[in-house]
Amino acid sequence: MEINIQAIRFEPTERLQDFVHKKVGKLEKFSDEIRKVEVSMKVVKPETAMNKEVALRVNAGAELYAEKVCDTFEEAIDNCVDALLRQLQKNKEKSQNR
């Protein structure tokens, strides 16, 4: 599985990049079809709270997408991964019912 990280208007720390790889890597356990994950992170309004935006786009046969805005990038990544896990489960159920 290929993971591309794009950081807009900031330089991500190595710790943050490792966190992304660790969390996004968990998606692979739920679907063998995942080929590529694109992670986009940006600071929306630097002077306010809830200003870290993360978007995950997963290519798993179907295109799955989740976007969250939170206080920290870690929290936003966790929320996006949770949302994508639900989408992967629904996608798997649909394909089994066919």
> What integer pLDDT is reported at residue 49 of this predicted model?
83
In the numeric block, the tokens 């295109």 are attached to 63
Across the chain, the runs of DSSP E, i.e. the strands, are 2-8, 36-43, 52-60, 62-70
Tokens of 11: 């330089």
Reported as half-sphere exposure (CB side, CA atoms, 13 A), residue 40 has a value of 10
> What integer pLDDT is reported at residue 75 of this predicted model?
96
Q: Which domains does the chain have, with CATH numbers?
A: 2-97 (3.30.160.100)
Beta pairing partners, 68: 54
2-44: pLDDT as tens digits: 999 999 988 999 999 999 999 999 998 888 889 999 999 999 8
